[in-house]
Structure 1
């Protein structure tokens, strides 16, 4: 018996017209050799074949091996594809099938799947680094933030290859550089973490004129019970601070090989004063500073953290991309996340923002709490991506962020890895239906309340993420409509950052469409069903009405409707 254990693209991201390598992990459980064919098919989101490649198999008895197959990718930009991997035998036909996905995009910021790296210890073996980056490739990540990789916030590169960072971690530039190389090989952009205002005490003492001060004349600092005032806050408007920081960014890219920079702030210094007493409005200074930072690195990729949405509109005036928001209270509800994403897309012509939303209860030592918080992770993933956003969550192999200090991440269990991979296969496969800037949100117009355009046969549904309901997310683009569904049944609150119960499965969910347009086709896809394939749905018409039935909803799903042209 031949088994197809796993299948996945070799890289996290691909560009139009490239060749993709798909790897199939095979096991011949028989005592006899196996001779057959390995076939890889590339399918559009709605299952039309656009390319195929085949390779003959000749496996020894009991052999376990990984077989690569190359397949050409289309020239179209911003497209997601299903990848069907099949094992066939001349007499026995198709013996095994697995589905995976990939997407093709010229610029990662157009369809961001942003991850992180935070472990750069000198004792990490090369094989461990390779395994971690390979795991991230299976989630189809296309960019990585290298968090706290540097020697000091104002001076990135240390005098020796091994060094101790400001919080006492022992790090190695060799490990950092190895992971940069691996990320680039995996089709992921490597972005260096850079705090836009952070200086060690020795830099403050040497350059007090570059710092920001309170009204009483004391300097702004970050303090720690162990390290005291360990970081001072410079004035981003000061030309000498800009010279210092931008030169460090250029040096990091030139000497380390980074592709770009991830600019961070701390969210709390909004108004300060120079050493001479002049008032500094940080929000007013930010757009020019951020654009200057990107220009200083030659227009390379540059993101910036609008902490708790501050100051999102000002950041949108700059050239950094994508917009990136670290979410904190009072943005506690699913509905808050929706509003953040829609506002960010509006500010940037429909482009997807990245949200850093940390599930704090993944820090628990209670297995039951961790299980319930994993349900929260899957709903959080659905909520963000179905609205056309992205979530920085995954990194360091199979880790999930649970804290603003990235080295404090949660390691996924094997069963959790499988579920999260299914979610990210889905995200890559339907990239066009999630990230395209032309999608327009019409949830509050078509679903819920008095709206009869899209109606589910369910007791509670609507666009506002109410507890114990089915959350409906409707979007239109030309002759297409999508309806995203997130299963909130059984939830007692609309809080995203809280442990949640497992979803109550809904079967044979009927959807009525009353849109004064002729429905030409309808498909339904879910990461929890048929390995994410788009299933064609029969359409029952009753005059102006059309009915379709969704076979099953667990955590989340997506209905894709196409209307007859001109109807």
Structure 2
């Protein structure tokens, strides 16, 4: 039903580009921006998708297409929509499409938009998140407004927040007085500080926000009054006083807001939230708000916990202990309106969390402490409170106002936010299952608890990244804060230091789970010297971006598919990751290959073999579109090169091509599931005739089985390549990978998968599978799997042939290369190699033979100035043998390996 509704209701219209359109960060040469008409949608409603296009390709785009896919996590919902596009060079156009949202409530989606030319090449793309929820409180994305001056363009300001998917607004200091929020004259009034407030502006904000799916929350304190309160019916007998032994003050409990104001109001005076008289008074005044304005709820505030207080009849209390009773009565008094409450500093948050509030919220300050006495000053402290509040509130997502670079902003007004500081704090909060309170009207970001103090601004880069981040938290809300709980599953990074508690200069990684997925949250603190979230001095190092590394995850349930999603890459799209399974003394694990980590990655995995609706389009046990006659359908691309499908110089019909003017890595792959265990052969027609790649190969891998590499030769004509692989657990991934300098191509055609071939012909009696690339004459480590990045192949000081493999680093390192052979006849085998280790003194250097059915055999590598032969002999009893070379060493230490050979005795 979903596929039909999506196909039938995505309708396009075109209109001219207007000069008054709001600017947005460009994402490429054609797609200017992709937005939706609302911040949140009811189930089954129509989502209007607006695609702003500007042709900056330097040529006309004729016969092109715009394609849209709707994704829920890794799975495509419905069919791909294709609409024609003709766009002259330098022309602008807006395409508007209507997508019928599914009827399921509280679901997040990512709409993927690709623009293709007439040959089917992707020339630009973008994504946008869509939240289908009947209420904002399950997945709050809270923003604020504060400028209620005359003639304020409320629609424009609301539109900016809508594009960040803000679904509820706090109306900060909109009111007349704290104890009397509704002014005598509803047309215009001054707030406590003397700022003019216009009733029509407040109403216009509310109407504009409701039109785009936002809730509107009237801000006011729960227990405060300004001077003159006695004339408005507030009785002194309701007041709170400092207890005699409270060192923070004397007399009526009060808070100084300013030295002077035009209204003469400088202080707030506080009253006992448990006093029935005060309760009846403030509830009645609050309900007057809803009589005169179309607000959706009350945002109750405090100034935090100030120690022991006493009432007018000398009973003592702490304000935080009044929260549960007061909030429950407040919710009852305001009826069907929303109630949100701020226990400042998270002091007493446990009492607010168990009250009848609709959303939990806590302004965090680094000097306050949690229930265990720990400061709220680190990234990890934010995570801990979010997790604890989720448990105490029955699963609610904590909204965290945490004001970035506070002192820096007050001392340097008009300066930019530090991008790394903002993104790391946001990642810490959202990965843990919380939500931020940071974005306000006119697209501003908070740095101060007094919202009109707009001390710092977002750079264009930060605005763009925040936009991608909010698309991401919408699209993956069902993995971030939809019932997930923490796990203690072990997570290791063989190449990098890591921590489960957010230590500086490490990858911060921890586990989550729900009833379908196991999840790794991975935040990059490599190169970040301090783990303070506030960055109070305005400084924070940009994390060291890393690429092509591995994570080792010890799983609870069986893992058969692994996916990566990040706000920092691929516009938030889910990408399927390669992995292998194993076990050791710590348990069963998956070793996952991760392409990159900038700020925040989320890896999610399940026992499902299909890995999403899109991933097996050819049907169970079938390769889809091996001749690329249906474009890229069925294949997934990852990399930095240009790529696409066309008929130019194809072997037959259409071909897949990869090319880049600069250095690149590129991989195109397809996973075939539902295969019967057995031997399979994969063949392809390939042509690589411009440039010289460092690595160019076909890669065949599956669940629990071997990985087979087949090198692609350089040739002026199409060559046939083939590889044979043993499928163990029903799944086979077929990939073509190239790592190359600029101006280097690869062409692929006629990929075929054949079952039940290769075993007798490839390995006749008396023979055994050949060791791949034992002399490293391919010029790379093709055929070998590397753990670590301190490995290479060159032609200097070789023992035999043209190349050797080497280990080396200027710093401490651990490096391993290995190759697993399968299909061996049982019997005795000898492995030999020529090795040289002559600079530095390693801690451990050896050849390792394992996996053959017996205990590992280690052959140490000696320090010496010349190549020497090492050997190891094993008795294979299970048809397998893993050959590895391993070295753990301080800096400036080498190892050279050449002429690795396998002989059956």
The reply to whether residue 167 of structure 1 matches residue 207 of structure 2 is no
**Do the aligned residues in 2 keep the contact of 1:209 with 1:275 (CA within 8 Å)?**
yes
**Do the aligned residues in 2 keep the contact of 1:211 with 1:233 (CA within 8 Å)?**
yes
**Do the aligned residues in 2 keep the contact of 1:55 with 1:69 (CA within 8 Å)?**
no
Inter-CA distance 152–481: structure 2 relative to 1 (3 Å threshold): same
The reply to whether residue 534 of structure 1 matches residue 534 of structure 2 is no
Q: CA deviation at 1:65?
A: 3.9
1:58-69 to 2 correspondences below 5 Å: 63-69=91-97
1:138-287 to 2 correspondences below 5 Å: 138-160=163-185, 161-204=187-230, 207-215=235-243, 218-223=251-256, 224-227=258-261, 229-269=266-306, 271-287=308-324
Q: CA deviation at 1:3?
A: 2.2
Q: Which of 47, 50, 54 is matched with 1:23 structurally?
A: 50
- Mean Cα displacement is larger for which, 213-222 or 248-257? 213-222
Q: Which residue of 2 aligns with 1:423?
A: 469
Structural RMSD (CA): 2.7
| Residue deviations 1:519-556 (CA, integer Å, cap 9, x gap) | 21001111111111111011223464422111010111
The reply to whether residue 509 of structure 1 matches residue 549 of structure 2 is yes
Q: CA deviation at 1:564?
A: 4.8
Q: CA deviation at 1:38?
A: 4.2
The reply to whether residue 104 of structure 1 matches residue 132 of structure 2 is yes
| Residue deviations 1:241-284 (CA, integer Å, cap 9, x gap) | 22222122222223211111111011135543333333344334
Q: Any stretches of 5+ residues in structure 1 without a counterpart?
A: 447-452
Higher Cα radius of gyration: 2
| Residue deviations 1:295-348 (CA, integer Å, cap 9, x gap) | 222132111012112211211221002211111113111121121111101102
The reply to whether residue 551 of structure 1 matches residue 595 of structure 2 is yes
**Do the aligned residues in 2 keep the contact of 1:204 with 1:232 (CA within 8 Å)?**
no
Q: CA deviation at 1:137?
A: 1.2
SS at the partner of 2:173? coil
| Residue deviations 1:375-402 (CA, integer Å, cap 9, x gap) | 1110001000101111111111321111
Q: Which residue of 1 aligns with 2:523?
A: 486
Q: CA deviation at 1:47?
A: 3.9
SS at the partner of 2:242? coil
- Mean Cα displacement is larger for which, 554-563 or 251-260? 251-260
Inter-CA distance 130–13: structure 2 relative to 1 (3 Å threshold): same
Q: Which of 408, 411, 427 is matched with 1:382 structurally?
A: 427
Residues in 2 aligned to 1:411 and 1:135: alpha-carbon distance in whole angstroms: 15
Q: CA deviation at 1:369?
A: 7.8
Residues in 2 aligned to 1:321 and 1:420: alpha-carbon distance in whole angstroms: 26
Inter-CA distance 169–105: structure 2 relative to 1 (3 Å threshold): same
Inter-CA distance 166–425: structure 2 relative to 1 (3 Å threshold): same
- Figure out how many residues of one structure are paired with residues of the other and give that number: 553
Q: Which residue of 2 aligns with 1:122?
A: 150
Residues in 2 aligned to 1:155 and 1:34: alpha-carbon distance in whole angstroms: 63
Residues in 2 aligned to 1:361 and 1:213: alpha-carbon distance in whole angstroms: 31
1:16-95 to 2 correspondences below 5 Å: 16-28=43-55, 38-50=66-78, 63-87=91-115, 95=123
- Mean Cα displacement is larger for which, 89-98 or 208-217? 89-98
Residues in 2 aligned to 1:2 and 1:340: alpha-carbon distance in whole angstroms: 43
| Residue deviations 1:97-117 (CA, integer Å, cap 9, x gap) | 211111222221111111111
The reply to whether residue 408 of structure 1 matches residue 464 of structure 2 is no
**Do the aligned residues in 2 keep the contact of 1:34 with 1:61 (CA within 8 Å)?**
no
Q: CA deviation at 1:34?
A: 6.5
Residues in 1 aligned to 2:88 and 2:565: alpha-carbon distance in whole angstroms: 38
Q: Which residue of 1 aligns with 2:885?
A: none
Residues in 1 aligned to 2:597 and 2:169: alpha-carbon distance in whole angstroms: 32
Q: Which residue of 2 aligns with 1:450?
A: none
**Do the aligned residues in 1 keep the contact of 2:512 with 2:520 (CA within 8 Å)?**
yes
Q: Any stretches of 5+ residues in structure 2 without a counterpart?
A: 1-27, 245-249, 368-374, 610-728, 730-905
SS at the partner of 2:341? strand
Residues in 1 aligned to 2:200 and 2:397: alpha-carbon distance in whole angstroms: 34
Inter-CA distance 48–503: structure 2 relative to 1 (3 Å threshold): same
- Mean Cα displacement is larger for which, 489-498 or 265-274? 265-274
Inter-CA distance 192–270: structure 2 relative to 1 (3 Å threshold): farther
Residues in 2 aligned to 1:477 and 1:460: alpha-carbon distance in whole angstroms: 27
**Do the aligned residues in 2 keep the contact of 1:28 with 1:34 (CA within 8 Å)?**
no
Q: Which residue of 1 aligns with 2:658?
A: none
- Mean Cα displacement is larger for which, 246-255 or 205-214? 205-214
1:129-140 to 2 correspondences below 5 Å: 129-140=154-165
**Do the aligned residues in 2 keep the contact of 1:16 with 1:77 (CA within 8 Å)?**
yes
Question: Per chain length, whose mean CA-contact separation is higher, i.e. which structure has more relative contact order (CA < 8 Å, sep 6+)?
Answer: 1
- Mean Cα displacement is larger for which, 554-563 or 401-410? 401-410
